[in-house]
Amino acid sequence: MPYVNIRITDEGVTKEQKQTLIKGATDLLVEVLGKNPATTVVVIDEVNTDNWGIAGKQVTELRKK
Amino acid sequence: MPYVNIRITDEGVTKEQKQTLIKGATDLLVEVLGKNPATTVVVIDEVNTDNWGIAGKQVTELRKK
Amino acid sequence: MPYVNIRITDEGVTKEQKQTLIKGATDLLVEVLGKNPATTVVVIDEVNTDNWGIAGKQVTELRKK
Amino acid sequence: MPYVNIRITDEGVTKEQKQTLIKGATDLLVEVLGKNPATTVVVIDEVNTDNWGIAGKQVTELRKK
Amino acid sequence: MPYVNIRITDEGVTKEQKQTLIKGATDLLVEVLGKNPATTVVVIDEVNTDNWGIAGKQVTELRKK
Amino acid sequence: MPYVNIRITDEGVTKEQKQTLIKGATDLLVEVLGKNPATTVVVIDEVNTDNWGIAGKQVTELRKK
């Protein structure tokens, strides 16, 4: 029954990479906590680099350096 | 004052359906808990089917079956 | 497959009220969007009134007025 | 180490305004709680006005009045 | 820079299991997307079974069956 | 109408500090985006240090070093 939300910057993640993240997160919950994969939900949010900040700076600007 | 976040796959939800979800979720909080509708917020997130997984699989792939 | 997160202040919500919220939110998604209830998840977060603010003020203080 | 999520309607927020929000939220955590800015994350979500409701109504409709 | 939020029911998860979830989720992001582990954040939310619903029912009740 | 969610570790944050965070986040949205404070919601989540990870490690362990 777990719900996993993965939030990352929107920088060319492929459909196959997303599938690997979904499978990996689901397997983790099954292996560590014995959760039922049938009701394990994984949602990936891709966020524009203008909208993501760390250390007070936009990732868009950090990427230029 | 409640905040309700409805996360669904991005599969052609109409503006009218969104309005019905917003009204229905607000009414639910008013009826069950006596909350003030004026400050009840509902936010709907539509997520690409590549980014939503259940049972370790992408919804995009599950829809093909 | 929807995921609904209901965030409210922690002010004596009963187990029965929570069940009514869970049933009501699930029914809403089934009725409006034809979603499968079996994989519809509802999570209720109860938040201390010290930790919830509106109009720049803590709910704890607003409740005193 | 804090994580701040700012959710607003998608109504023409500029890159500069986003930078100001990121800087302001980071400074707030540093000043009030002495948090390390290097690991303070701020994520801004811009939500379509059809998908945001308050008082049971879509913001899209409220904006017309 | 990713942010991963794992939401599970509050049913006796140990400190060691939490550490394994944190390590596993971080490794997943590093391996699949080449993310920097130093700024990868994982937050686990444990939710009371009265507050978690699936298929319109409280997990507390589902556990009794 | 904004919704701001501040997630921090549960390490003795006082009621006054929470009030300062709520006021500061609300003012930020008013000043930068001209938002209406009356419907600006701020929610602070305090998370146990066992449940928060960075760089693949629990904050509980990082604090011991």
On chain A, the residues whose CB falls within 8 A of the CB of E24 are: 28, 32
What is the pairing mode between strands D57-58 and D52-54? antiparallel
- Beta-bridge partners for C5: B5, C43
According to the model, what pLDDT value does residue A4 have?
98
A37 labelled catalytic: no
Name the nearest CA neighbour of B22 among B49, B2, B48, B47.
Answer: B2
Query: Side-chain half-sphere of E21: how many Cα atoms within 13 Å?
Result: 30
Neighbours of D62 (CB within 10 A): 14
Does residue F55 sit in helix, strand or coil? coil
pLDDT tens profile D19-63: 999 999 999 999 999 999 999 999 999 999 999 999 999 999 999
Complex prediction ipTM:
0.98
pLDDT tens profile E1-59: 899 999 999 999 999 999 999 999 999 999 999 999 999 999 999 999 999 999 999 99
Domain boundaries, position D13: 3-64
User: Chains A, F in contact: 3+ Cβ pairs under 8 A?
Assistant: no
- Beta-bridge partners for A47: A9
**E26 CB within 8 Å of a chain F CB:** yes
According to the model, what pLDDT value does residue D15 have?
98
Query: Side-chain half-sphere of E63: how many Cα atoms within 13 Å?
Result: 12
What is d(CA A33, CA A37) in angstroms, rounded to the nearest whole number? 11
CB contact under 8 A, D32 and F17: yes
Percent of chain F whose predicted confidence (pLDDT) is above 90 = 97
For chain E, what is the domain count? Answer: 1
Residue B55, sorted as left (phi over 0), alpha (psi -120 to 50) or beta, turns out to be left
Does residue A12 sit in helix, strand or coil? coil
Residue of F nearest to D26 (CA): F25
Interface test mutation site (partner A, options B58, B60, B61, B62, max chain A beta carbons within 10 A): B58
Q: Where are the alpha helices (DSSP H) in E1-65?
A: 15-33, 59-64
pLDDT tens profile F1-22: 899 999 999 999 999 999 999 9
**E-strand stretches of D1-65:** 3-9, 41-47, 52-54, 57-58
Whichever domain contains A25, its CATH number is 3.30.429.10
What is d(CA F28, CA D15) in angstroms, rounded to the nearest whole number? 16
Structure tokens at E32: 């699949």
- Beta-bridge partners for D31: none
User: Chains A, C in contact: 3+ Cβ pairs under 8 A?
Assistant: yes
Question: What is the H or E stretch that residue B7 is in?
Answer: strand B3-9
Neighbours of C45 (CB within 10 A): 17
Task: Tell me how far CA of residue F10 lies from CA of C22, C51, E12, E43, in angstroms.
Answer: 28, 12, 19, 12
